[in-house]
């Protein structure tokens, strides 16, 4: 209503043509309070509402006033922050109830319940909240861990913290065996195989076979007796003998009149050559080796293997010194005998050490002086004239002498 009255007064004051230039009241008021630092917005200090904040906006400006913060944030001045308190989840049953910016600020811990029905008694244990007040079962364990041959374990029920389970509590002999102390012996009936006089069935014969059982239940092998004859042609057996290095199947030919027709063979594989004792894939340097070719059961080659039989002799023929003379630079050589034993270390001279002079064939000595000038090496620059040869001083590379060589 006040806005309309103000508008009308302004219209009356302008008269006729001035009417079109009248400014609406709300625009006039907005222009007067556009500066948010002045009343009525000076109590609204924020240009925007902070994250997690609950704000009031100035009714005519663009400023905000922070009134409160959303839980769990707390108001700190003109912003919202997490509480300074934080908690650590350190026990197995800890559970975070509330977080702030990824940090736990409130937790709870519910102790694990006591275990019951324990077969092997109980013990105190951790309750999951940092206290050893919980009642836990002692673990169920097998009462026996070994058994003899020809036996099986017996079991009993046991309950611990993992629930009910079966544990070993003993053993018993299998069927056909009886317990003797801590072993199981076989129950058996002896069988001497009376009437069976042959240890093998002759070629071309039909035989009845009998398994001998001794009084201690051990096997006495097999015995045979002839019951008749049948012709055996040995089809597929085309060889009259087994070739060297091959494994063959043998067949005895039996004629229809029960007479023998001899033996025939067929190849079934190769004689395996494992090269026992040959453990190396190659002969080591400096060694003498024996070589063996591996042959597999399917006749394929398994490559070669080696074993050391001796050593390559190292005579050290150019090494004539038992020790290196003083001032001399030497090269060493270890003498190796054919049985791989060491013949000691010999030396040969290769030069002289610094400040030692070669006196012929690398026998080195200390000179009376190392003063190059005193020894005649008087030049330090330039070159030698004519037929003179430039010779450097061995003790000072910056000095040289010019010598005429004949």
Strand partners of residue 209: 224
Q: What is the DSSP string of 327-360?
A: TEEEEEEEEE-TTS-EEEEEEEEEEE-TT-EE-S
Q: If phi over 0 gives left and psi between -120 and 50 gives alpha, with beta otherwise, what is residue 129? A: alpha
Q: Report how far apart, in Å, the C-alpha atoms of 341 and of each of 61, 74, 286, 317 are.
A: 105, 88, 12, 17
- E runs forming strands in 138-271: 151-160, 163-173, 177-180, 183-186, 205-213, 219-229, 246-254, 260-270
Burial 160-192 (b: 16+ CB within 10 A, else e): beeeeeebbeebebeeebeeeeeebeeeeeeee
Indicate the burial class of 86 (C-beta count within 10 angstroms; 0-12, 13-18, 19 or more): middle
Write the DSSP symbol of residue 309: E
- E runs forming strands in 214-327: 219-229, 246-254, 260-270, 287-295, 301-311
CB atoms within 10 A of CB 44: 20
Considering only CA atoms, which of 45, 6, 63, 9 is closest in space to residue 29? 6
Instruction: Please check whether residue 161 is in contact with residue 136, taking contact to mean a CB–CB distance below 8 angstroms.
Output: yes
What is the residue-level pLDDT of the chain in tens, covering all 406 positions? Answer: 333 333 333 333 333 333 334 445 444 444 444 444 556 788 899 999 999 999 999 988 889 999 999 999 999 999 999 998 889 999 999 999 999 998 999 999 999 999 999 999 999 999 999 999 999 999 999 999 999 999 999 999 999 989 999 999 999 999 988 898 999 988 878 888 999 999 999 887 888 999 998 877 788 899 999 888 878 888 999 999 998 878 889 998 878 677 788 899 998 888 788 888 898 989 888 788 899 988 887 888 889 999 988 887 887 888 878 888 777 788 888 888 878 888 888 888 777 776 665 544 445 666 677 788 888 888 898 888 888 888 888 778 889 988 876 5
Instruction: Please check whether residue 98 is in contact with residue 87, taking contact to mean a CB–CB distance below 8 angstroms.
Output: no
- Provide the angle, in degrees to the nearest 10, between the axes of the packed helices 2-18 and 25-32: 110
pTM (2 d.p.): 0.34
Strand partners of residue 103: 100
- C-alpha span between 117 and 137 (Å, rounded): 8
CA 183 vs. chain centroid, Å, equals 43
**pLDDT for the residue 1:** 36
User: Cα angle vertex 155, ends 121, 169, to 5°?
Assistant: 60
**pLDDT for the residue 176:** 84
Q: Report how far apart, in Å, the C-alpha atoms of 355 and of each of 352, 358, 364 are.
A: 8, 10, 10
Strand partners of residue 137: 122
Cα within 13 Å of Cα(378), Cβ side: 4
């Amino acid at each position: 209503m006040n806005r309309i009255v103000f508008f009308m007064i302004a219209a009356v004051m302008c008269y006729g043509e001035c009417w079109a230039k009248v400014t609406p009241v709300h625009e006039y008021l907005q222009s007067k309070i556009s500066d948010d630092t002045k009343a009525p917005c000076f109590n609204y200090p924020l240009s925007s509402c902070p994250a997690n904040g609950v704000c009031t906006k100035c009714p005519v400006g663009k400023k905000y006033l922070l009134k409160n913060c959303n839980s769990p944030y707390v108001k700190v001045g003109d912003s919202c922050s997490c509480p300074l308190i934080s908690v650590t989840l350190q026990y197995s049953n800890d559970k975070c109830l509330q977080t702030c910016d990824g940090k736990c600020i409130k937790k709870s811990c519910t102790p694990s319940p006591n275990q019951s029905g324990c077969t092997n008694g109980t013990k105190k244990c951790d309750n999951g909240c940092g206290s050893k007040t919980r009642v836990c079962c002692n673990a169920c364990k097998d009462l026996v861990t070994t058994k003899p041959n020809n036996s099986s374990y017996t079991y009993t029920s046991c309950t611990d913290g993992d629930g009910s389970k079966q544990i070993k509590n003993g053993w018993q002999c299998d069927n056909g065996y009886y317990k003797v102390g801590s072993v199981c012996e076989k129950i058996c009936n002896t069988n001497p195989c009376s009437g069976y006089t042959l240890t093998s069935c002759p070629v071309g014969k039909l035989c009845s076979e009998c398994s001998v059982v001794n009084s201690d239940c051990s096997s006495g092998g097999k015995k045979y007796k002839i019951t008749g004859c049948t012709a055996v042609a040995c089809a597929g057996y085309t060889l009259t003998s087994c070739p060297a290095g091959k494994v063959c199947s043998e067949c005895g030919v039996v004629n229809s009149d029960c007479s023998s027709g001899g033996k025939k063979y067929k190849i079934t594989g190769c004689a395996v050559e494992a090269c026992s004792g040959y453990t190396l894939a190659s002969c080591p340097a400096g060694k003498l080796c024996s070589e063996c070719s591996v042959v597999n059961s399917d006749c394929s080659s398994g490559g070669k293997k080696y074993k050391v039989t001796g050593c390559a002799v190292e005579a050290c023929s150019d090494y004539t010194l038992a020790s290196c003379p003083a001032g001399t630079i030497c090269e060493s050589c270890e003498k190796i005998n054919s049985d791989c034993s060491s013949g000691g270390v010999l030396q040969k001279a290769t030069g002289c050490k610094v400040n030692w002079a070669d006196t012929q064939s690398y026998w080195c000595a200390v000179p009376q002086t190392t003063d190059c000038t005193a020894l005649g090496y008087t030049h330090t620059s330039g070159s030698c004239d004519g037929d003179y040869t430039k010779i450097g001083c061995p003790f000072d590379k910056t000095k040289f002498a010019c010598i005429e060589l004949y």
